Amino acid sequence: MPHAQACMACAGHLRAAMRLGKLLAQRPEVPAEVRDPGLLEAIHVRATQSMLREPGGMLLQGTYGRPPVLPAIPWPLQQDASGLARQGATSGGSAPGWLWTRIRDDLRQQVAKPVLRRRAVLAAVAASLVLALALSKFVGSDGSPADVQIVFIPVDEMPLVDHPAAILRRGGRQ
């Protein structure tokens, strides 16, 4: 007697497999939206545009022999990117492991840069305000810069001046 007929569990597995097999043999209908060639083209365009801005995309451009379009990135990253591009263009082979590490770090910086830039701008504005307030004490009405340091020293005792109010204050104590 075959085992599938003697073993009830295996008989059940065999019956499920035969049922699912028939279902899997039937190829499903592709949705109409996916059949639209414009959708695929839009995906390709979006992917290409994002890769152009990413260090990995620049690397691929270099790999395919075209000079990369480098953004205004500060030294020494800019040199590395140029070196990467040159290296990718000349070697034509797979990128070394340290390159992927550098790309990962660059991507992380790209994500954090807007926040850092905003904080830096706010800090610069605050510092400028503080400096302006400090200088305003010495800047004349015509806005000329303070080339003479003048300080005001408050005094509690009334100076000896010839003013009616001062004279009357001293009146009975001459």
Partner 1 sequence: MLAPAAVLVGSLASQQAAASAAALRSQSPYAIRTAADLTFRNIAGARFHETWQAVQVRRFLDADGVLVQIRERVTVQGNGTDSSPFQLEFLDVIGSTVTAAQRQSWQYTYRSHAGLLHQHGSFAVQDVDAAHRNYLLYDFGTVRRAGREARRAIVFPRSGDKAIWVVDLDVDTGLTLYAAEYDSRLRVTGELEVNSLAVGAQVPPLGAGWNWTPRQVVDVYPSPQLAIQAMRSAFVLVPDLGQVVAEYVLHRAQITTNRLNAEQTLVFGYTDGIDEFFVTQSGAQPDPFANSPGRLPDPARSKPHAIASYDDPAMRVYVFHEKGTTFQVVGSQGLVRLQQVAWRLCRQAVTGN
Interface with partner 1 by CB under 8 A: which residues? Answer: 138, 140-142, 147-159, 161-174
Toward partner 1, which CB reaches closer, 15 or 170? 170
In whole angstroms, the minimum distance from the beta carbon of 124 to partner 1 comes to 27
Separation in Å, CA 24 to CA 16, 21, 64: 12, 5, 41
In whole angstroms, the minimum distance from the beta carbon of 130 to partner 1 comes to 20
Give every CB contact of residue 51 below 8 A, 6+ residues apart in sequence: 57, 60
Toward partner 1, which CB reaches closer, 76 or 172? 172
As given in the structure block, the two tokens for residue 70 are 């480098």
In whole angstroms, the minimum distance from the beta carbon of 61 to partner 1 comes to 57
In whole angstroms, the minimum distance from the beta carbon of 154 to partner 1 comes to 5
Toward partner 1, which CB reaches closer, 4 or 138? 138
The DSSP result for 63-128, as a single string, is: HTTPPP------TTHHHHHHHHHHHHHHH-SPPPHHHHHHHHHHHHHHHHHHHHHHHHHHHHHHHH
Toward partner 1, which CB reaches closer, 6 or 151? 151
